[in-house]
């Protein structure tokens, strides 16, 4: 029997210690990112969804929402060079509804799309009533009348002037919007019934194609369906794509001005999980957020509940699942994240190759998950979570958790469902921040660029 030299034993022990030290803690984020928040001067600012964009002038445009019946949402612009915030207007006043005593334009739920120096966007209701545990259109208080419907708006970057283009059908809010910038067509989905319509800028013609997902979020029981939050536009042929809770992909065809079902492919994938489309509290098989990448003419999508990234080839009508872009902590612990609908902060970086995704991540203390107090069942986090920035480099397929995000005082950004990419690679979002004992929503910057 050979004797193992003491030097080899010592070396082996040292390597074991080093290996253990290098192994990541499965329940702690490997990196931390510092975020800076700004004061837009709007203390009523409430949880905001999408409502951001980077203008051709390099400035960051955003809307802060309000949940009150008599306080409208506000549009702002941030200059990254001077770090100055300016208020551009009150949504209700912009829509010509000031002092009309109608439920105000409380929010915008869509991202800005720029064409010809103008930013196009839409408004949505911010004041809700909870009926049988469900969000419904706000019931007007005494002396007030019902919400008049969402508006399609344009903002001229040079002149600073707004233009009111159209009113959504049936007095509903606009929850989803995108635009074919080449053909001048705006596509929208309304809330709560999930009706799809298009608006032609040249002719001013608005055409509604009706409800696309049973009765949408305006029903209970078998007729209930969550409404798709993202429309993907293929600039090659002017098609617009959106999804349903059952996983059906629907296509607006520019050549026939009609909506048809995409045949031979759908979103009902085993990897995404199992869902009953009529049950509230999740997005079902809907994609959560999408983007079009000009370099490969592909539509990149994320499924909300599962966090899977996939791409859709609109010419072949084929889906390819790429990777799970959840946080490293989520992957290592095998847990779904806490936000029941998934996350909207999903955008292509200025290099045209790197997806930036703001997602949740579980928090652990003493080896146990911090669950926190459950919030409302629909469209909200079910407890406290970290905010993580994930990057996915499309050419190499490299997915990287850049780290958990914290403010200067160590507190966490929460209720994050917006993103805008600065031209320098910085990430901007809208999140709850600590201020005067309250947590209004305001602008946050995570300084970049980030190595993919």
State residue 340's pLDDT score.
80
d(CA 117, CA 115): 5
Q: Which two tokens stand for residue 126?
A: 């911010």
Q: Which two tokens stand for residue 379?
A: 């469209």
- 29-446 — its CATH code? 2.130.10.10
**Cα-Cα end-to-end distance for the chain:** 52
State residue 342's pLDDT score.
93
State the CB neighbour count (10 A cutoff) for residue 436. 7
d(CA 263, CA 248): 9
Q: Which two tokens stand for residue 279?
A: 């049950």
| Buried b / exposed e along 5-44 (16+ C-beta atoms within 10 A) | eeeeeeeeeeeeeeeeeeeeeebebeeebebebbebebeb
To the nearest 5 percent, what fractions of the chain are helix, strand and coil?
Answer: 10, 40, 50
How, if at all, do strands 52-54 and 60-64 pair? antiparallel
State residue 375's pLDDT score.
44
Q: Which residues contact 245 (CB under 8 A, 6 or more apart)?
A: 213, 225, 226, 275, 277, 278, 283, 284, 285, 286
Residues paired with 359 in a beta bridge: 388
**Distances 107 to 110, 161, 241 between C-alpha atoms, Å:** 9, 19, 24
For residue 412, which of 436, 382, 446 has the smallest C-alpha distance?
Answer: 446
Note the pTM of the prediction, 2 decimals. Answer: 0.93
Per-residue pLDDT of the chain (452 residues; tens, 9 = 90+): 445 555 544 444 444 444 444 556 778 888 999 999 999 999 999 999 999 999 999 999 999 999 999 999 999 999 999 999 999 999 999 999 999 999 999 999 999 999 999 999 999 999 999 888 788 999 999 999 999 999 999 999 999 999 999 999 999 999 999 999 999 999 999 999 999 999 999 999 999 999 999 999 999 899 999 999 999 999 999 999 999 999 999 999 999 999 999 999 999 999 999 999 999 989 999 999 999 999 999 999 999 989 999 999 999 999 999 999 999 999 998 878 878 899 999 999 999 999 999 999 999 888 888 876 544 445 566 678 999 999 999 999 999 999 999 999 999 999 999 999 999 999 999 999 999 899 999 999 999 999 99
What is residue 153's three-state secondary structure? strand
DSSP 92-127: HHHTT-TTS-BPP--B--S--EEETTEEEEE-B---
Strands (E) in 281-373, as ranges, are: 287-293, 298-303, 308-313, 318-324, 346-348, 354-361, 364-365, 368-369
CA angle 181, 182, 188 (to 5 degrees): 40
Classify residue 67 by burial, with Cβ atoms within 10 Å: 0-12, 13-18, 19+: middle
State the CB neighbour count (10 A cutoff) for residue 426. 19
Backbone angles phi, psi at 108, to 5 degrees: -120, 140
Residue 449 preceded by cis peptide, ω within 30: yes
State residue 95's pLDDT score.
98
Backbone angles phi, psi at 169, to 5 degrees: -65, 155
């Amino acid at each position: 029997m050979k004797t193992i030299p003491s030097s080899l034993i010592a070396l082996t022990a040292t390597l074991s210690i080093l290996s253990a030290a290098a192994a990541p803690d499965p329940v702690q984020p490997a990196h931390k990112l510092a975020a800076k928040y700004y004061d837009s001067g709007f203390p009523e600012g409430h949880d905001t969804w999408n409502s951001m964009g980077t203008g051709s002038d390099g400035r960051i445009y955003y809307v802060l929402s309000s949940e009150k019946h008599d306080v409208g949402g506000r549009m702002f612009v941030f200059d990254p060079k001077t770090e100055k915030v300016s208020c551009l207007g009150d949504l209700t006043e912009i829509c010509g509804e000031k002092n009309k005593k109608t439920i105000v334009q409380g929010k915008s739920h869509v991202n800005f799309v720029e064409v010809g120096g103008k930013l196009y966007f839409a408004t949505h209701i911010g004041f809700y009533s909870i009926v049988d545990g469900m969000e419904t259109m706000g019931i007007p208080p005494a002396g007030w009348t019902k919400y008049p419907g969402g508006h399609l708006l344009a903002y001229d970057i040079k002149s600073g002037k707004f233009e009111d283009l159209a009113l959504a059908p049936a007095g509903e809010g606009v929850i989803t919007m995108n635009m074919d910038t080449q053909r001048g067509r705006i596509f929208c989905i309304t809330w709560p019934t999930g009706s799809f319509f298009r608006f032609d800028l040249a002719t001013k013609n608005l055409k509604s194609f009706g409800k696309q997902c049973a009765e949408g979020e305006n029903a209970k029981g078998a007729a209930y369906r969550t409404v798709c939050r993202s429309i993907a536009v293929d600039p090659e042929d002017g098609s617009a794509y959106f999804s349903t809770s059952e996983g059906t992909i629907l296509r607006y065809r520019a050549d026939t001005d009609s909506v048809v079902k995409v045949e031979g492919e759908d979103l009902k994938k085993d990897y995404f999980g199992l869902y009953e489309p009529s049950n509230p509290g999740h997005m079902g098989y809907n994609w959560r957020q999408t983007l079009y990448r000009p370099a490969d003419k592909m539509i990149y999508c994320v499924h909300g509940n599962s966090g899977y990234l996939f791409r859709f080839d609109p010419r072949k009508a084929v889906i390819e699942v790429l990777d799970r872009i959840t946080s490293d902590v989520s992957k290592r612990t095998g847990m779904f994240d806490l936000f029941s609908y998934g996350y909207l902060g999903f955008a292509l970086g200025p290099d045209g190759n790197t997806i930036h995704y703001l997602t949740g991540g579980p928090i652990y203390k003493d080896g146990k998950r911090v669950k926190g107090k459950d919030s409302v069942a629909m469209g909200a986090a079910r407890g406290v979570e970290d905010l993580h920035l994930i990057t996915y480099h499309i050419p190499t397929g490299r997915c990287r958790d850049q780290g958990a995000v914290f403010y200067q005082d160590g507190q966490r950004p929460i209720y994050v469902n917006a993103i805008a990419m600065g031209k320098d690679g910085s990430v901007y979002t809208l999140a709850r921040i600590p201020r005067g004992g309250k947590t209004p929503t305001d602008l946050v910057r995570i300084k970049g660029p980030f190595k993919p």
